[in-house]
Amino acid sequence: MKIFIYKTAIVAVVTLIVFEITIGSKIKSIKKEISQISSEQNREKIITKIREEISKANKKESYFNEADKILLSTFIKKIGKELKLEN
């Protein structure tokens, strides 16, 4: 019975260590990124950056090159055909 308890304890400790090394570190990094985004100063920086990028985009003459225009036009036409309701 002692051997079973020792083996179980060893397996539990090894499993915990492997979890912390692999998944635990990823969870910590994700939590850190979320906390950075949720802070008031960083939120203001993000909003300012988005406004700047939108302002730059509004100053451009055109958003797409010819290949992109053709591709998007074809895609939108196909979606339009698919969404047409039959009477």
pLDDT score at 53: 92
What pLDDT is stored for residue 14 in this prediction?
94
Is the overall model pTM greater than 0.75, yes or no?
no
CA 26 to chain centre: 14
Which pLDDT value is given to residue 87?
45
Give me the pLDDT at residue 86, please. 60
- The pair of structure tokens assigned to 34 is 């979320």
Domain ranges for the chain, please list them. 2-83
pLDDT along the chain (87 residues), means of 10: 91 93 87 80 88 90 88 92 74
Cα-Cα-Cα-Cα torsion 62, 67, 68, 73, nearest 10 degrees, comes to: 100
The pLDDT value recorded for residue 11 is 95
